[in-house]
Chains A and B, each alone.
Chain A
Amino acid sequence: MARFWCAVLILACLELSTRVGTAPICSYGQAGCHTPSLADIFDRVIQQSSRMHGISSDLHSEFEQYFFPSKNLIGKPKCHTHGIVTPADKENAQRLGREQLTEVILRLLGAWGDPLLQLYRSMSQDQNQDFNHYSSNKALEISDMVHELRDGVAKMAEKMKLSGVLGNTVGYISPEGLVPSSSFSFYKHGELNSMDHHDLLYCFRRDSNKIKNYLQILKCTTLPGLDC
């Protein structure tokens, strides 16, 4: 009897998975495939970056509440991405132009892939602190989102290039070339303490906000519409 139900379940699962699997993935714009428009891609990417920022912001404030409840000044954290030149106000951002803005976004996203993974590993391995134990999921989530977002923005850039909106100066940027290795010096590989966690969270909260903002500017300069 149990075997029978097992078999039924397996068959049902297979059927469902095949049904899911038959949806075509249009990575190359095959005929008959519904490829999302540039506006759709923009919306998705902006939504994703907004969510990513929200999670990192929550994580940071929880961290501060747990470890530094007295709210004294923790010092001046230095972020490893400070080498990336980013526009800090509206005029500068608008003056930058689409190509450079896209490049900045990609650089930022590329610079955070590895450190976030390190953060997650460090948090999940640390069994002493309850905070790390329960919040490491969030670290993993934002780590995944950074990777996805990077791919998404790259695709968006490709689409923009195809439609002529974006010039060809935006090339593929390898992660190694983005951030000079000296910036990693203050992150000891494999051994991160709470201060390091805090700095990472602090810096990423800021950078994710930048990414989201730049994407919005990019969208509104490329496709001005109701949402801008």
Chain B
Amino acid sequence: TTDDIGLILTVVCHMLSGTSPPGKPVLLSCRSPEKETFTCWWEPGSDGGLPTTYRLYYERERLEGVHECPDYWSAGSNSCFFNKTHTLIWVDYYLTVVASNALGNATSDIFKMDVMEIMKPNVPENVTLLVVETEDSPYLHIRWEHPRNTDTESGWVTIKYELRIKQEKNNKWKEYMSGTQSHFSLYSIAPGGVYTVQVRCKLDHGSWSEWTNSTNVKVPNYVQNERSFWILVATLSAIPFMAAMCILIVKRENVKQCVLPPVPGPKIRGVDFHLLMSGQSEDSTNALIINQNFPLIVGWKDQMEEYLIVTENDIGPPSDASHCQKRKKSLIIPAGFCSDWEIQCKSTHIQNDCAGGTKNETGNFPKNNKSLSGESLSYMEPSKLQKQQCLGQNFVNTEATDPSPLNYDNAVKPFTNSGYVDIRKHVENTQEVNVKQVDYSRVEDVNGDNVFILNNKNLAFNSSGYMDFQRQEEKLSEDYSRVKEVGSNNVVVLQIQDMSADTKNPHATGAHKMGVCTELINSEYIDTIPAPPLM
């Protein structure tokens, strides 16, 4: 009871004097710089006005009992230092700090830690900067050493470094990772600049250390002199260059003349270019045209007018003569055929292979079998017909009674009678044959290239003796001349009809050249017109 009274008196005394038991301390953190030792710090609570002592107690995994801190002083006040013998990695420590004074105790919360988690190394040491001068450009070489007390050789810890560099002018740090190397090179530094470098490191997966103190270096700028020399040279050479450009621009017309001479215009012989350009003068146009030596072109007659139409009947294997005879073939001669020819062929019967003869003919028959009207017109594809033969497009109006001989260069025998051949140029579609009682010859068939088989109608050429057509081989309304055979190169071999009594028995002989008609031996012949040179 006296103890109790004494205690109560002490407390009352303390309360009256403003003292109290200590406040609860707080464990702040622990840290291991090299994974071999560690230190813990706490913050004391209020001391209650009385001298207070602090004690750290710990429990540990795989260790029985509660133990007290082995070293309160090495690491400063309010700290506890665990040396190598007391440090184990990968085990949990449970720490508490007890503050006690005369009036009472206070215990902090339990602080659980594992050394693996609290690693934070010391700062790296001896950071040195060196400007290395090479021929092209200098660079900055930075070296440092591992932090104190850290064992980097056994592999127990892995240190990674990081550095940051700042130029004097701007305030921005640039950070670089260095891995495990303890040196670093910075290229492309500005001459005359001042650089500041700091380095820090970390262990394994732990926290970064603090930055080292700044280290500065100044890069000498002798390199600039060299550069300024070249700048001067460039500036001086720029002046004449600019002058040259000015002159060029001012005199650009002359320059253009010199560099890009005008392209000479076209020249046409016999024609004054300028005259042409100035206007359409008759002379010039004539000169242009006449020069060419074109033959006079007779105007095209209306296509609906008489023309020489060659029609063709169905082609079939001729079985008997009668069939053949009944065939009407009409082909339309394309332009270019020796038109003006006085078809002085006799009425030759073109005997298609009726007589079982000429194979050529059958084979040469155009395949086109379109028959329109009773006329059984058909047309040849223009390709099969002779093109540009003879003389251009020759249109002769068969109806014209007066012979209008065309003036051709070469032997053109004028018709005495009106027996003209009006040849249509391009056959687009079948046209009705203008069946008039006109004298015309029909090409019966056209084979191959420029071969035509004349089909002589009842041309009243008899009088002239030129065209003596013998028809009536059959009861055909028209007389035909038949080509006996067709050669390869525009050769038409006409055959004279044998049927008619009047027929002599001519032979169609000879091969034509293009546009040349065969000349029959007998009176029935086809006059030949030699091909004009233009062909």
A binds B: yes
Instruction: Give A contacts to B, CB under 8 Å.
Output: 53-54, 57, 73, 76, 86, 88-91, 93-94, 206, 209-210, 212-213, 216-221, 224, 226-228
Q: How far is the CA of A93 from the CA of B36 in the complex (A)?
A: 12
Q: Whole-angstrom distance from the CB of A161 to the nearest CB of chain B?
A: 20
**In contact, B92 and A76 (Cβ under 8 angstroms):** yes
Q: Which of B54-91 contact A (CB under 8 A)?
A: 61, 84, 87-91
Q: How far is the CA of A12 from the CA of B155 in the complex (A)?
A: 47
Q: How far is the CA of A224 from the CA of B152 in the complex (A)?
A: 11
Across the interface, which residues of A come within 8 angstroms of B89, CB to CB?
88-89, 213
Q: Whole-angstrom distance from the CB of B441 to the nearest CB of chain A?
A: 62
Indicate if B180 sits at the interface (CB-CB under 8 A): yes
Instruction: Give B contacts to A, CB under 8 Å.
Output: 35-36, 61, 84, 87-92, 110, 112, 114, 116, 151-156, 158, 180, 204-205
Across the interface, which residues of B come within 8 angstroms of A206, CB to CB?
90, 114, 116
Given the known inter-chain contacts A73-B112, A216-B158, please indicate yes or no for A228 contacting B152, CB distance below 8 A: yes
Q: Whole-angstrom distance from the CB of B27 to the nearest CB of chain A?
A: 13
**In contact, A90 and B36 (Cβ under 8 angstroms):** yes
Give the 9 A-B CB pairs with smallest separation, nearest first: A220-B155, A216-B155, A88-B88, A217-B155, A90-B156, A228-B155, A206-B90, A88-B89, A228-B153
**In contact, B90 and A88 (Cβ under 8 angstroms):** yes
Please name the residue on chain A nearest to B84 by beta carbon. Answer: A89
**In contact, A53 and B205 (Cβ under 8 angstroms):** yes
Across the interface, which residues of B come within 8 angstroms of A73, CB to CB?
110, 112
**In contact, A217 and B156 (Cβ under 8 angstroms):** yes
Q: Whole-angstrom distance from the CB of B96 to the nearest CB of chain A?
A: 12
Across the interface, which residues of B come within 8 angstroms of A227, CB to CB?
158, 180
Across the interface, which residues of A come within 8 angstroms of B153, CB to CB?
220, 224, 228
**In contact, B116 and A209 (Cβ under 8 angstroms):** yes
**In contact, B156 and A213 (Cβ under 8 angstroms):** yes
List, sorted by A's number, 29 A–B pairs whose CB atoms are closer than 8 Å.
Answer: A53-B205, A57-B205, A73-B110, A76-B61, A76-B92, A88-B90, A88-B91, A89-B36, A89-B84, A89-B87, A90-B35, A90-B36, A90-B154, A91-B84, A206-B114, A209-B90, A209-B116, A210-B90, A212-B204, A213-B89, A216-B156, A217-B155, A218-B155, A219-B155, A221-B154, A224-B153, A227-B180, A228-B154, A228-B155
**In contact, B154 and A217 (Cβ under 8 angstroms):** yes
Q: Whole-angstrom distance from the CB of A180 to the nearest CB of chain B?
A: 17
Q: Whole-angstrom distance from the CB of B517 to the nearest CB of chain A?
A: 63
Q: How far is the CA of A205 from the CA of B205 in the complex (A)?
A: 12
**In contact, B90 and A90 (Cβ under 8 angstroms):** no
Please name the residue on chain A nearest to B180 by beta carbon. Answer: A227
Please name the residue on chain A nearest to B156 by beta carbon. Answer: A90
Q: Per a CB cutoff under 8 Å, which of A53, A86, A217, A221 touches B90?
A: A86
Please name the residue on chain B nearest to A77 by beta carbon. Answer: B92
Across the interface, which residues of A come within 8 angstroms of B61, CB to CB?
76
Please name the residue on chain B nearest to A212 by beta carbon. Answer: B204
Q: Per a CB cutoff under 8 Å, which of A57, A209, A221 touches B155?
A: A221
Across the interface, which residues of B come within 8 angstroms of A217, CB to CB?
154-156
Q: Per a CB cutoff under 8 Å, which of B87, B110, B112, B156 touches A93?
A: B156
Please name the residue on chain A nearest to B154 by beta carbon. Answer: A220
Across the interface, which residues of A come within 8 angstroms of B205, CB to CB?
53-54, 57, 209
Q: Whole-angstrom distance from the CB of A110 to the nearest CB of chain B?
A: 18
Across the interface, which residues of B come within 8 angstroms of A94, CB to CB?
154
Across the interface, which residues of A come within 8 angstroms of B158, CB to CB?
216, 227
Q: Whole-angstrom distance from the CB of A98 to the nearest CB of chain B?
A: 12
